[in-house]
Chains A and B, each alone.
Chain A
Amino acid sequence: MKKFSITQESIAIKHLLVALEDPVCGAVSTFEGRVRKHNLEREVIELHYESYETLCLKEGQQIVDEAINHFEITNALCVHRIGVLEIGDLAIWIGVSAPHRDASFKACRYIIDEVKIRLPIWKKELYVDGDSGWLEGAG
């Protein structure tokens, strides 16, 4: 299984959790980023995620590899969804397994923080009033 992937479909979590299982790991940390209803006091209907896929896959793999090298963890996986997402949909899932909880928490945080500033992915919000716009900067 690739450590970083992009999908147009709903992110299926079960098989990702199975892939993280390891008898030496006493900790599994996960992060779920979901589409929220409001942003900057405007009501959102849906989000449209777009990626520069080739570079995104390379950079995503690099981020996960960095987490594995920097922290005492056993495995890490990250999946980002693109396309049209509705309120509550899962946009990103990150899972980390490690012998102990401290490293798993830190690695999980590292991956989402780096994703937000490095991955060439953009989101466009569609609002209730019919307006829409590309967001700027990590949110």
Chain B
Amino acid sequence: MLASDLFTWFLEHHINNTDKMTELINIQILYFAVLKDKTGQNGETLSVKEKSTLASIYRQLQKKYDLPEQHRLKVAINDSFSTWDYRPCHGDTIVFIPPVTGG
């Protein structure tokens, strides 16, 4: 086996093992206002890879539902504001908050 083949085998083997070790967690998403209209629902349960960030989760949903750009939104986890790099745990509830218009 050539050294390059060995290297390729190592990479694939390593990546496969990493994938197997990555567990899925279930999180609850609640939708409000324009996000509720775009997704057509009040919320949903998602299975995502453990250690996913809120930003990466939103990117997936943004593509799926054609949601607004992330920079215009805030995000909350379990009823408290959060940062986008936060990695939710199994059972967490997430709300993506479009620009607010109260008052």
Contact = CB atoms under 8 A, between A and B. Distances in A.
Interface in B68-83: 76, 79-81
A138 B101 CA distance: 5
Greatest chain A CB density within 10 A among B32, B34, B37, B103 is at B103
A123 B102 contact: yes
Interface stretch (A9-17, A52-60, A66-74): A52-60
B103 A120 contact: no
A55 B80 contact: yes
B51 to A, nearest CB: 25
A117 B32 CA distance: 16
B101 A139 contact: yes
What is the size category of the interface that chain B forms with chain A?
Answer: 10 to 19
A8 to B, nearest CB: 15
What is the size category of the interface that chain A forms with chain B?
Answer: 20 to 34
B34 A112 contact: no
Identify whether the interface residues of A are mostly helix, strand, loop, or mixed: mixed
Interface in B6-48: 30, 32-34, 36-37
A117 B98 CA distance: 11
A119 B37 CA distance: 20
B98 A122 contact: yes
Interface of B: 30, 32-34, 36-37, 76, 79-81, 95, 97-103
10 contacts: A33-B103, A51-B32, A115-B103, A116-B102, A116-B103, A119-B102, A119-B103, A120-B97, A134-B34, A137-B101
Interface of A: 33, 49-52, 54-55, 58, 80, 91-92, 112, 115-124, 134-139
